[in-house]
Amino acid sequence: MEFFNLHTHKYTNQDSVLELVNQYPQEFDGAIQYYSVGIHPWYIVKDRVEVDLAIIESKLKEPNCLAIGECGLDKRIEIPIELQQMVFERQLLLAQKYNKAVVIHCAAAFQEVIETKKRLNISVPMIIHGFSKNGQVANQLIANGFHISFGKYLLQKKELEEVFINIPNDRIFLETDTIEEGIETVYQLAANYKVISVLKIQEIINSNFAEVFNKTIK
């Protein structure tokens, strides 16, 4: 594999790309090669939480399930934050139990996510996907052991260049999420910002992938 896409909602099944495809408990496609599965805070259904968690736990036992998520906290939606917090914590504990990485959706709740990681003593890798904030937030996340994934906003927000440049190479991932551009486009911009070759970015991401997911991109 030449490229690793940390988070996408569109399975393209390209030979050159290893995609971590986001899946939901109630909308699961067993034909997808590698995936994450989780309860997104937008889609929490209170009366279905236990059923969804049981499905997630069954999938976490599968080798093709590389992570739980996307899951997390979002203060910009109407779903009560207390319910979001409970569902988030239950998923983190499952990740810990099955030694799986966590792909995190976070909106206006970075301090809460950091506090939750500390309080529950979560030691599995936790990756903030779709990062769009400033260097201060990035530095807090790095200091607390998080990895950070860039994609849509790296392409759209020029001010993220400096933030991305200053992230240690061993803490970065790249993704497409829902954008039309391919992961190759994100890699090219990342290489330009870091002033290195695309090949070097591939080596960095491959190394991070091996470290976080305990697998090798071939």
The 3-state DSSP class for residue 48 equals helix
pLDDT of residue 217: 64
Kindly state the average pLDDT of the residues 151-158: 97
First to last CA, the chain: 5
pLDDT of residue 206: 96
Residue 18 CB partners (closer than 8 Å, separation 6+): 1, 3, 4, 5, 33, 34, 209, 217
pLDDT of residue 52: 98
Kindly state the average pLDDT of the residues 82-108: 98
pLDDT of residue 180: 93
Q: Evaluate if residue 1 carries a pLDDT over 80.
A: no
Kindly state the average pLDDT of the residues 65-79: 97
The 10s digit of each residue's pLDDT in 181-190 is 999 999 999 9
CA 212 to chain centre: 11
User: Which residue in 73, 72, 69, 127 sits closest to 98, CA to CA?
Assistant: 69
Q: 193, 161 in Cβ contact below 8 A? A: yes
Kindly state the average pLDDT of the residues 142-169: 98
Task: Output phi, psi for 20, to 5 deg.
Answer: -95, 100
Residues making up the binding site for a divalent metal cation: 70, 105, 129, 177
Band (31; pLDDT cuts 50, 70, 90)? very high
Q: Evaluate if residue 19 carries a pLDDT over 90.
A: yes
Kindly state the average pLDDT of the residues 70-96: 98
pLDDT of residue 216: 73
Which residue type occupies 133?
Answer: K
Residues making up the binding site: 70, 105, 129, 177
As a CATH number, domain 3-213 is 3.20.20.140
- As a whole-number percent, the residues of the chain with pLDDT over 90 amount to 97
